[in-house]
Amino acid sequence: MIRRELRNFGLLLALIFLFFSCHNTENKNNSSQIREYDGELIIFHAGSLSVPFKQIAREFNKIYPNVEIKSESAGSVRCARKIIDLKKDCDVFASADYSVIEKMMIPNYSDWNINFVSNEMVIAFNEKSRFKNEINENNWYNILLKKEVSFGRSDPNSDPCGYRSVLTSKLAEKFYEKPGLSEKLLSKNHRFIRPKEVDLLGLLQVNAIDYIFIYRSVAKQHNLNYIILPDSINLRTKKLKDFYSSVTVKINGKKPGVFITLKGEPMVYGITILKNAPNKNAAFAFVDFLLSEKGMKIMKENGQPSLIPSKSSTYKNIPLGLKKYAEQ
């Protein structure tokens, strides 16, 4: 009897020891995983992603407090040029136009792209904008062309919002059947062209201009009044991709004197991790968090609906852990 009790007691001690050993090992593994994601994480992103990315960074740091996120916002094309021309270090690049990644980053600087959110063009204004009580989706171009009215847009060579503004004006000419409309709009108020769309907000806030071409998400995030444009010109829906593609815009290419011709197409944002990312582990964790249900919820709340999962022409090159956010 005594021997049996001793054997049972010994077995119990062994089980207790095994439990705590496994528990400690698990804790060590979890701690190791958290420690693995540390250091600086450099993110270049479109200006229109500034607000949601700040919120996402805060939530990400609750899980990975040892990662120091350093974000730089600029026009997406300018972000690409920082990497290509200035050789600046970058871990994650999020573009307001997926084609910037596919045409400028792949294959030399990155291997893949995931399309993750959408947007649309609007005409935004404030309480002191001239003719604010008259402007609507049918007469906005007449209001903008008035001599006493001024409006701003971003630089097509720096910012997708800039060349999308050009495409919107060209689509408007066709949709409203107004020959010469695009040229009239694009030749007006050149002094109010800025490097990226969020730079226009200050001009509007101090009443230097009356209206701006901008993304709906940015207008929503900054509580601006805005005109919702017809789907035929706002670049919002895949259903009208053929009509969108009937207009083009030229922007500066990789070298002086070289140009890239872009067709109109629905707005699609893209994201990638650079080949030579200094902190690939943290970059992977951030992109995984961003594209997760929680990250996409934040994006949607900021006016940028999720496209996850989305088709990718680079699917085979997407890291295994991120393939769940894309389709072939």
Pairing of strands 39-46, 92-95: parallel
Distance CA 204, CA 124 (A): 9
Kindly report the CA angle at 238 between 105 and 108, in degrees rounded to 5? 10
Dig out the tokens for 117 from the structure: 């959110």
Instruction: Give the tens place of pLDDT for each residue, 25-79.
Output: 444 444 334 447 899 999 999 999 999 999 999 999 999 999 999 999 999 999 9
- Give residue 7's pLDDT: 52
DSSP character at residue 121 = E
Fold agreement between 39-118+268-327 and 121-262? yes
Contact call for residues 122 and 234 (beta carbons, < 8 A) = yes
Query: Residue 21 pLDDT > 50, yes or no?
Result: no
- The model's confidence at residue 18, banded by pLDDT at 50, 70 and 90, is very low
Average confidence score pLDDT of the chain: 90
Instruction: Give the tens place of pLDDT for each residue, 172-224.
Output: 999 999 999 999 999 999 999 999 888 999 999 999 999 999 999 999 999 99
The answer for residues whose C-beta is within 8 angstroms of residue 26's C-beta and 6 or more apart is: none
Instruction: Write down the CATH number for the domain with range 121-262.
Output: 3.40.190.10
Instruction: Give the tens place of pLDDT for each residue, 125-158.
Output: 999 999 999 999 999 999 999 999 999 999 999 9
Topology of domain 39-118+268-327, per CATH? D-Maltodextrin-Binding Protein; domain 2 (3.40.190)
Instruction: Give the tens place of pLDDT for each residue, 84-95.
Output: 999 999 999 999
pTM higher than 0.75: yes
- Give residue 253's pLDDT: 76
- Give residue 286's pLDDT: 98
- Give residue 85's pLDDT: 92
Contact call for residues 182 and 169 (beta carbons, < 8 A) = yes
Contact call for residues 235 and 168 (beta carbons, < 8 A) = yes
Which CA distances in Å does 299 have to 115, 122, 135, 159, 189? 13, 18, 29, 20, 32
Task: Domain ranges for the chain, please list them.
Answer: 39-118+268-327, 121-262
DSSP character at residue 224 = -
- CB-based burial label for 136 (10 Å; 0-12, 13-18, 19+): exposed
Which CA distances in Å does 261 have to 104, 170, 243, 249? 13, 14, 17, 6
